[in-house]
Amino acid sequence: MGFLFFAQLCAYLIPILEIPILARALGVQEYGKVVLIQSIALMSSLIVEYGFSLSGSRQIAIARDDRGNLSRIYGDVFSAKLIIILTLFLFGAIIYVFNGHVFLGGTQILLGFIYFLAFGFSPFWFFQGLEKISVVVIIEVVLRFASLFLLYWFIRTEEDAELALGILAGFGLLNTFIGNVICIKKAGKIKLSLVGGLHQLRTGFHVFIYKSSNNILLSAGPSLVGATSGHVAVASYVPAEKIIRGFIGFVNPILIGFFPYLNRQYLLSKDNTIKLSLMIVVGMFASGILAAGSIFLVGDYLIQTVLGSGFIIASSVLKIFVWVIPFRLTNQAIGLCILIPMGRDKITSGLMMFFSIFSIILAALLSIWFGVNGVVMGFVLSEACLLFALIFVVVNLTIKSSYEAKS
């Protein structure tokens, strides 16, 4: 739990530390391009990751003392990721054939692809299942701080945009390569399997829906802003988004830590577990309101101090975006602490997916009238609607459960 918390903290803290280095050196135009490429690569890597951080790690945890099974699971998951990559590549090729217009250069596309591979093939799920994440966490933290140092040392002007992207992508790929080498040494001989890969995709589908729906709001934002308002607007959106993502990522390990405990306790004492879960939900909402209010008050000072006067529009984006925090934390708490322990994972994943799609549509529509601020408004309103839907489901299930207990 401690190392997981540390890993999550570094994963969100380092990108925040990168913001002033890159934004001040590259300027609004080139910084916007860099973060747009990062966003597209990360969003694609979330599809390749497919929720294996939960479904894959659960299988590894069960088979941790059986090297043959470890090898099979690793090979099957790797095969599943290759299937997804080939599908994405085919989809991208079709879009290029019919569209034929790419606003990025060949080098930028290559670096974006390397960035995508680095995150899509991360073996963190394997070590999480073995409960031996200390080694990979240390390697990742060392490499990420090394990349941060190189960015600080070498990135000076807007002409260094590709170099900056190369440093980020290169260190990310090196981290993934080292991690997978350690995996293969631990698991033994690896065999790729089309049947095994398809089986992993089929059995992990609901986890994928839950995970992808949970991440799509924040991950799809920069791409949507880029499509509707241009890459200059992305440069104003991303700093605010990373601050929000950083706080949510900081709190997430608390919910993940409670998750297995609540699952066990629900089988022993349903009523007491629900009471504890409700306390966690209320606590998350209260802490979210407090955090949002605090960031709202210091938003102007924070943006000007960290980024400079050229990014002043990011302040207005941040002041709207902060209100997603209480809704997002509460929604995650209801899903992980109440609905999934109750065995209602299909309802949860279904609602998450529906409102993720709804958020993209609403954000795109509002961007027509309000630009980048409209995108953010769409995301906040969607999270609020999701909260009301989840509360409605929980209340209905509670009433139904009480009625069944009486009869």
Q: How far apart are CA 258 and CA 261, in angstroms?
A: 5
Domain-terminating residue out of 176, 203, 230: 203
Range of 49-53, 211-215, 276-280, 378-382 with top mean pLDDT = 378-382
Q: Count the domains in the chain.
A: 2
Q: How far apart are CA 123 and CA 138, in angstroms?
A: 14
Confidence of residue 253 (pLDDT cuts 50, 70, 90): low
What integer pLDDT is reported at residue 99 of this predicted model? Answer: 59
Does one domain contain both 383 and 296?
A: yes
What integer pLDDT is reported at residue 289 of this predicted model? Answer: 95
* Average confidence (pLDDT) over 67-91: 88
Domain-terminating residue out of 139, 174, 203: 203
Does one domain contain both 312 and 181?
A: no
Rg (CA), the chain: 21
Tens of pLDDT, residues 326-361: 999 999 888 878 887 777 877 887 888 888 889 888
Q: How far apart are CA 299 and CA 100, in angstroms?
A: 41
Q: How far apart are CA 390 and CA 173, in angstroms?
A: 38
Does one domain contain both 184 and 319?
A: no
Does one domain contain both 197 and 217?
A: no
């990751």: which residue's tokens? 49
Range of 96-100, 186-190, 252-256, 373-377 with top mean pLDDT = 373-377
Q: How far apart are CA 287 and CA 46, in angstroms?
A: 28
Instruction: Retrieve residue 88's tokens.
Output: 């994405």
Q: Which domain holds residue 393?
A: 210-407
Does one domain contain both 3 and 131?
A: yes
Q: What does DSSP assign to residue 159?
A: G
Q: How many CB atoms lie within 10 A of CB 114?
A: 17
Q: How far apart are CA 314 and CA 387, in angstroms?
A: 26
Say what the pTM is: 0.70
Q: How far apart are CA 80 and CA 113, in angstroms?
A: 18
Do 60 and 190 meet the contact criterion of CB atoms below 8 Å apart?
Answer: no
Does one domain contain both 18 and 78?
A: yes
* Average confidence (pLDDT) over 240-261: 72
Does one domain contain both 131 and 275?
A: no
Instruction: Retrieve residue 333's tokens.
Output: 């708490």
Selected residue with higher pLDDT from 21 and 404: 21
Tens of pLDDT, residues 143-156: 888 999 999 899 88
Does one domain contain both 237 and 122?
A: no
Does one domain contain both 137 and 217?
A: no
Find the helix or strand (DSSP H, E) in which 122 lies.
none
Do 22 and 164 meet the contact criterion of CB atoms below 8 Å apart?
Answer: yes
Domain-terminating residue out of 177, 203, 229: 203
Question: Average per-residue pLDDT in the chain?
Answer: 81
For residue 79, which of 175, 204, 190, 212 has the smallest C-alpha distance? 190
* Average confidence (pLDDT) over 171-194: 88
Do 27 and 310 meet the contact criterion of CB atoms below 8 Å apart?
Answer: yes
What integer pLDDT is reported at residue 214 of this predicted model? Answer: 60
Tens of pLDDT, residues 306-317: 776 667 778 888
Does one domain contain both 352 and 263?
A: yes
CA end-to-end span of the chain: 42
∠386-390-394 over CA atoms, to 5°? 170
Does one domain contain both 190 and 325?
A: no
Does one domain contain both 347 and 226?
A: yes
Lowest mean pLDDT among 24-33, 157-166, 230-239, 382-391: 230-239
